Amino acid sequence: VYGLDEGILTCLNLENGNRIWKKGRYGYGQMLLVGSMLLILAEDGRVELVKADPEAYTQVAEFQAISGQTWNHPALAHGKLFVRNSEMAACYDISTGSQTTSVEKTDR
């Protein structure tokens, strides 16, 4: 089982509760399981793709998805990754890796 333990990605053996490995720094990040990958949105707006592999921590990809601090869950729908914080939101096409939309909060 995978989770963030004080901001560090941790893999635990579900049968005995022992830690298998602990790696990476994500702050108050959130994650999704996408196939055999963990998609992690870190507190600093970074997105990382990590193999969901109990044998070892393996980072596959990383990019800065949004600026500023975020504690929001990422969302994945129809091949699009949605991320946001209190000031902005962004959408990425995961098949191409390109940003499709970005909006920022404005004062009215």
83, 41 Cβ separation under 8 angstroms: yes
Q: Give the pLDDT band of residue 94 (cuts 50, 70, 90).
A: confident
Do 101 and 90 contact (CB within 8 A), yes or no?
yes
Give the global pTM.
Answer: 0.87
CATH of span 2-104:
2.40.128.630
Q: Are 60 and 37 in contact (CB under 8 A)?
A: yes
Tell me the pLDDT tens digit for each residue of 45-64: 999 999 999 999 999 999 99
